[in-house]
Structure 1
């Protein structure tokens, strides 16, 4: 059973820096929490209570289902403009594409709406486990 819009609203309201919310996404237990990143507050996620950097580097289910994909230029602006000043023939000989883009994966989401959209698109079954910061089999300390 997928979550209703009212469930998503409750999840967004319960999301805080002090306690995670727990969701079940196609068999994965997902902990979602707001964290400070510099001067911003972003949404981050943990699968089964863990986050592994290898998920962002290697193509895997966790990255496909939960990570944020950003398209970036392979070269900085200064280098791209220098490459574009070269002739097309020289660019071809050097095998350089100044407009080449790469995909970068991040564990952080800046908006709950974008995170929700990504979860809906990449997971069939999404349900709430807990909005209180504790899993049902855990007790508050």
Structure 2
């Protein structure tokens, strides 16, 4: 993910080994692991050595920030994926498909939104591993 000045904010990494695939996010020179959990692995947990930071709840269409200051964000996965907190739009992600190239995702985020939350929502809302990506209605 790059900011409007083309500086890297963070990145999502898919590292494959012989018998496994590891997903993680690099943000501020720190690595945050992503683990697929729940029924049919449709939810994710983002964690580091300190514990789980964000986790998703597909059944209730929300992302939850764990820890001392718990926060609950609701999402809508459509052609434009959106994340809200208490009815206020925080993140909007649109996909631009290009012929024979990887798609490009355009992100608009409220300035108060933590970049790690943006990267988590980007990963969760665009991954095809669970069939929930916003490619339909």
**TM-score over 0.5 for the pair:** no
Decide which structure has greater helix share: 1
Structure with greater strand share of residues: 2
How high is the TM-score relative to the length of structure 2? 0.29
Per chain length, whose mean CA-contact separation is higher, i.e. which structure has more relative contact order (CA < 8 Å, sep 6+)?
A: 1
For the pair shown, the structure with the greater C-alpha radius of gyration is 1
